[in-house]
Amino acid sequence: MNRRSMGAIVGIGELKPQRKTQGATTLDMIAQVVRLAVADAGLEKEAIDGLLVGPQVGETPQHVPATVCEYLGIQPRMSNVVDLGGASGPGMIWRAAAAIAAGMCEAVVCVLANTREEEASRSPNRNPIREFDVPFGASGANISYALPMQRHMAEYGTKPEHFAAIAAWARHNAQYNPDAIFYGQPATVSDVLLSPIVASPLHLYEIVMPVAGGEAVVVVSAERARSLNQRPVHLLGAGEKLTHRAISQAPTLTSGPLKPSMSQAMAQAGVSVRQMSLLSLYDCYTIMVALTIEDAGLCKPGQFGHWIESHRLGFDGDKPLNTHGGQLGFGQPDLAGGMTHVVEAVRQLRHSAGNRQIRNADLALVTGNGATVSEAVALVLGADA
Amino acid sequence: MNEIIERMQALTIPGPIPSAISAPFWDATAQGRFELQRCDDCHRWVFYPRNHCPHCWGSSLHWQPAQGRGRLKSFSFVHRPGHAAWQSVAPYPVALVELAEGPTMLSTLLVTSEDQASLRIGMPLKVQLVRVGKFTLPMFVLSDEEA
C-alpha cells in the first residue's frame, strides 16, 4: 500500500523534570531542549529555519517567536505561537509539516518549556528588551524607528523632506477614502516637517495615529472561489522572515527582513516588482516605507530620496502606493492595521476601488512588519485572469 | 557633564530586572567594572547575557573585562518619552553603541540637545557608569580616543 508522508519526526529532546527551578528563565529552558533535539536529529543549527513555540505569559507577552529566535541566534523563515493548551504539542507537528509542504521552510523546531520558580515574577515582562533597553529610556516603538531613520540620513544623505513626502502622499491618498481618519485633512511636506518632533528625526505626522477598528479576510481555495460571488484575488507568492526583537540587535539598520521575504514572494509568483500595479506597503512610520522601497528593489540601497522625488504615489500616479491612505492616512487599528494593506489590495484587484481605482490593476505587493523592523511577511496578490 | 549625570541620577526609572544569567553584568557595573561574556568555543563576544552562545551554540561563556569603548551607530533625541519617568530629562538622547568587541547595545548618551549638531555616526564613545536608583547603568560619553 502506498503511503504519502506529510512529514517525519527526526529528532527529540527532553529535560529531566524538576519540582522547582531556581533562577531559570523560559528562554533558557527552550534553548537547552532545542539543542538536545537538534543534536538528536544530527542537524546543525543553521539548518533550522522554522520555529513553533508556545505562549510565554509573564515573561514575554508578545513577539514570542522573535524573542526566541533572537535568543537562539536563528533566523526562521516561518514561525508561530501555537496556543492550544494541552494540544499545543501535537498541533505543532502538523503545522510544521504543512509549512514544509508549502515551501515556507525546511526544518522546523517545535518547542514547549516552562519554569517553576519559588518566587513569583516581579514584573509581567522580564525578557531581554525589558532588561537592557527600557532602563535606558527606550520605551515604546517610536525610538526603534527613529534610530534606523537617523542612520539612513547619515549613511545616504536622505533628507527629512524625503521621508515627509511619504506622509504627505498618505494624507493625499486619504482624501479619496471617506473612511480614513485623515479624510478632509491633507498635509503638505512642510506641514509634516512643522509637526512636533517626537523622537528625532521622526515628526508627529510621520507616525501612525492609533484608532479602534477591525479588518477581516476570508480565504478559500481557487477552485472553491469559482462558485462564489466575488471576483477572486489570488495569493501568488509569500515570504516571511524574523531576524531579531530589539532594534539594538538588528543585523543592519538600513535594510530589513522584508528584503528576503519580498524576494521569496515574488520568486514564487514569478513576477518582478516593476510589474506591480499597487504597492500596499506597511507604513507604521515613514522610514518603514523607505526601507521597504529599497529592499523591494524599486531603487538601489540608499536611493529612496531620489526615488520619492521622481514618482507620483496616487492611484493615478506611476507608482500607486497605499491608495487607501496607508496607516499614516487611514489610521492604525492596532494589529488590524497590517490587514488594511491586504483589504485595499483586494479592492484594487477586484476593480471595486471606486473613485480611487487603479486602471487595469493586476498585481499587488503587500507587506507586513512587526516589532523593530524585525518580523516580516510579504505577499504577492493577483487579479483573477 | 556633571549636571547631566546628576539629572540622570535623580530619575526614578523602571530599572533592569536581572536573571541569574545576567546578574553578573549588573554586579560588575555596581562595582565599577564593564564586563561582557565571551564564548570559549568561537571566541566571539556576547551581549546581552546568555547561557549559550548565539553564534555557535557553545555553552561555555565567561565574563571578561571589556574596553568600555565603542562607536555611535545611531541616536535619537526623545522628546516624548514612552515612559513618564523620563519626562523630566526630555529631550534626552538614546544611542545605539557598537562596542569595540562587536556586539551593539542600546544606551543613554550623556550629552545635551545643544550637542546634537556635533554628533556624527561612527564617532568614538566610552562608557560612563551612572548609578540610577538600585542599579548602575552603563551610559556613554563622547571620547577623543579612537575605539
Pick the closest to residue B61 from B90, B10, B21 (CA basis).
B21
At residue A122, the pLDDT reads 52
Q: Does residue A151 or residue A120 have the better pLDDT?
A: A151
pLDDT average, residue stretch B44-52? 97
Which of B51, B94, B135 comes nearest A28 by C-beta?
A: B51
pLDDT average, residue stretch B50-54? 96
Number of other CB atoms surrounding residue A44 within 10 Å: 11
Mean pLDDT of chain A: 92
Pick the closest to residue A301 from A137, A198, A157 (CA basis).
A157
Give the pLDDT confidence of A10-29 residue by residue, as tens digits: 888 888 888 888 888 999 98
Residues of B in contact with A137 (CB under 8 A): 13, 78, 81, 83, 86, 89, 92, 94, 108
Residue A120 has pLDDT above 70, yes or no: no
A43 touches chain B (CB under 8 A): no
At residue A123, the pLDDT reads 56
Which of A25, A139, A253 comes nearest B82 by C-beta?
A: A139
Q: Respond yes or no on whether the N-terminal peptide bond of residue B91 is cis (omega within 30° of 0).
A: yes
- A147, B48: Cβ pair inside 8 Å? no
B141 within 8 A of B107, measured Cβ to Cβ: no
A138 touches chain B (CB under 8 A): yes
B109 within 8 A of B132, measured Cβ to Cβ: no
Mutation site for B-interface testing, chosen from A45, A136, A198 by largest number of B Cβ within 10 Å: A136
pLDDT average, residue stretch A130-149? 95
Binning pLDDT at 50, 70 and 90, where does residue A2 land? Answer: very low
At residue A270, the pLDDT reads 95
Which of A 337-376 lie inside 8 A of B, CB atoms?
A: none
Residue A3 has pLDDT above 50, yes or no: no
Give the pLDDT confidence of A144-197 residue by residue, as tens digits: 999 999 999 999 999 999 999 999 999 999 999 999 999 999 999 999 999 999
Binning pLDDT at 50, 70 and 90, where does residue A367 land? Answer: very high
Q: Respond yes or no on whether the N-terminal peptide bond of residue B54 is cis (omega within 30° of 0).
A: no
Pick the closest to residue B65 from B87, B43, B40, B34 (CA basis).
B34
pLDDT average, residue stretch B81-86? 93
B129 touches chain A (CB under 8 A): no
A198 touches chain B (CB under 8 A): yes
Residue whose C-alpha cell reads 496578490 in the numeric block: A381
A96 CB-contact burial (10 Å; exposed 0-12 / middle 13-18 / buried 19+): buried
- B21, A28: Cβ pair inside 8 Å? yes
Number of other CB atoms surrounding residue A234 within 10 Å: 15
Ramachandran quadrant class, A354 (left: phi over 0; alpha: psi -120 to 50; beta: rest): left
At residue A6, the pLDDT reads 81
Residue A55 has pLDDT above 80, yes or no: yes
Q: Does residue A81 or residue A211 have the better pLDDT?
A: A81
B115 touches chain A (CB under 8 A): no
What is the enclosing helix (H) or strand (E) of A120? none
What is the enclosing helix (H) or strand (E) of A211? none
At residue B31, the pLDDT reads 98
Highest mean pLDDT among A58-62, A219-223, A339-343, B136-140: B136-140
* Closest chain A C-alpha to B54 CA, distance in angstroms: 4
At residue A61, the pLDDT reads 84
* Alpha carbons within 13 A on the beta-carbon side of A88: 16
C-alpha cell at A317: 500616479
Mutation site for B-interface testing, chosen from A27, A45, A150 by largest number of B Cβ within 10 Å: A150
* Closest chain B C-alpha to A319 CA, distance in angstroms: 31
Residue A45 has pLDDT above 90, yes or no: yes
Q: How much of chain B, in percent, has pLDDT values that exceed 70?
A: 99
Residue A223 has pLDDT above 90, yes or no: no
Ranking A253-257, A330-334, B56-60 by mean pLDDT, the lowest is A330-334
What is d(CA A239, CA A245) in angstroms, rounded to the nearest whole number? 19
Which of B 75-94 lie inside 8 A of A, CB atoms?
A: 75-83, 86, 89, 91-92, 94
What is d(CA A345, CA A104) in angstroms, rounded to the nearest whole number? 22
Which of B19, B79, B139 comes nearest A23 by C-beta?
A: B19
- A126, B53: Cβ pair inside 8 Å? no
Residue A217 has pLDDT above 90, yes or no: no
What is d(CA B147, CA B143) in angstroms, rounded to the nearest whole number? 9
At residue A89, the pLDDT reads 84
pLDDT average, residue stretch A43-57? 91
C-alpha cell at A124: 509581567
Number of other CB atoms surrounding residue A299 within 10 Å: 17
Q: How much of chain A, in percent, has pLDDT values that exceed 70?
A: 97
Residue A277 has pLDDT above 50, yes or no: yes
Residue B46 has pLDDT above 60, yes or no: yes
The complex's ipTM works out to 0.95
- B116, A200: Cβ pair inside 8 Å? yes
What is residue B38's DSSP assignment? E
What is residue A201's DSSP assignment? T
Residue A1 has pLDDT above 50, yes or no: no
Residue A57 has pLDDT above 80, yes or no: no
Residue A233 has pLDDT above 60, yes or no: yes
Ranking A170-174, A265-269, A313-317 by mean pLDDT, the lowest is A265-269
Residue whose C-alpha cell reads 477598528 in the numeric block: A213
Determine the residue of chain A that is closest to B75 in CA distance. A147
Residues of B in contact with A34 (CB under 8 A): none
Pick the closest to residue A282 from A352, A363, A208, A213 (CA basis).
A208
Residues of B in contact with A46 (CB under 8 A): none
Binning pLDDT at 50, 70 and 90, where does residue A124 land? Answer: low
A41 touches chain B (CB under 8 A): no
* Closest chain B C-alpha to A154 CA, distance in angstroms: 7
pLDDT average, residue stretch B130-139? 96
B40 within 8 A of B52, measured Cβ to Cβ: no
pLDDT average, residue stretch A310-326? 98
Which of B21, B48, B79 comes nearest A198 by C-beta?
A: B79
